[in-house]
Structure formats: C-alpha cells, structure tokens
C-alpha cells in the first residue's frame, strides 16, 4: 500500500466515533493492553474484545466483534496471533467494519493474502506502523 493511501486510511481509522481492541488482556505489559490504554488515555470511546474476561482496564468487554453495538462506525485494532487475526478479518468483512489496524505481529502471509483476495486493502492497515508509535502524530494531523 502506498504511503499516501496508508496515511489516508490511518486518518479514516482515527476519525471513527468508536474503537475496539482485540488482543488486550489482564497483563499490562502486553501490547494489546498498551493499545487499549492508549485509547483510554485519550478519552476515546473504546471497547475491549475478549472471549473470557468481562472487564479489562476497568472497561466492560464484549466477547466478539460481532457483539459491538455499532460495528459499521467502529475502527478495530487487532493485536492477535495471525490465525486469530484471520477469523477476526472474516467477521469484520461480514460486519462492514470501516477500518482495521493490524499491529505488528498480527499478520502473516495468509492474513495478507486474505486481505488482498477479499478486497479489504482499502480498509486494513498492515505491514508496518504501530498505533503506539504513530497514533499521536496522526491525531494531530486531523486537527
């Protein structure tokens, strides 16, 4: 994906009214939890997605992205192993989730192939930057 297209998608991603994080856990040292905290620290309306926990970082969770209240208005950060990422992308496609950001490590060749084969390239940020590194700069560019 060209840098301009990635930048435009990042702006679309961060312009959403709602956010979800798949891959947060009770372990504050894990990147999924750090990403969840990033949204929380900036007062974003964020929902952690976790199949077993009912609450993470004092925020009510949903078990799956299929349980999000407004999936068509929710940008989703994914910090999961590639096999899990693949199933989330399948659900996201069905739910018409507008933008997804795969954090480093959440993809492999099968995930990239799925993105391309399902015409999701215009909705999925992958192969690069972490929201923890680039998020604030993107937010500033939106102002």
| Nearest Cα to Cα of residue 21 among 93, 76, 67 | 76
Q: Which residues pair with 124 in a beta bridge?
A: 100
Mean pLDDT, residues 3-7 taken together: 81
User: Would you list the DSSP string of 34-98?
Assistant: HHHHHHHHTT--EEEE-SS-SEETTEE-BSSGGG-S-GGGEEEEE-S-HHHHHHHHHHHHHHT-S
Could you read off the pLDDT of 93-124 as tens digits, one per residue? 999 999 999 999 999 999 999 999 999 999 99
Could you read off the pLDDT of 50-81 as tens digits, one per residue? 999 999 999 999 999 999 999 999 999 999 99
Q: Is 3 helix (H, G, I), strand (E, B) or coil?
A: helix
Domains annotated for the chain, with CATH where assigned, are 3-141 (3.40.50.720)
């Amino acid at each position: 994906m060209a840098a301009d297209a990635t930048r435009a998608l990042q702006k679309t991603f961060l312009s959403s009214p709602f956010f979800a994080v798949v891959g947060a856990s009770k372990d504050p040292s894990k990147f999924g939890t750090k990403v969840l905290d990033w949204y929380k620290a900036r007062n974003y309306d964020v929902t952690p997605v976790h199949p077993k926990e009912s609450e993470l970082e004092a925020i009510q969770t949903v078990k799956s992205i299929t349980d999000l209240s407004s999936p068509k208005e929710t940008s989703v950060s994914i910090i999961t192993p590639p096999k899990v990422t693949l199933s989330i992308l399948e659900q996201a496609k069905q739910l018409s989730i507008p933008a997804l950001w795969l954090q480093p490590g959440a993809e492999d060749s099968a995930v990239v192939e799925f993105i391309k084969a399902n015409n999701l390239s215009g909705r999925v940020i992958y192969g690069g930057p972490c929201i923890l590194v680039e998020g604030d700069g993107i937010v500033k560019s939106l102002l």
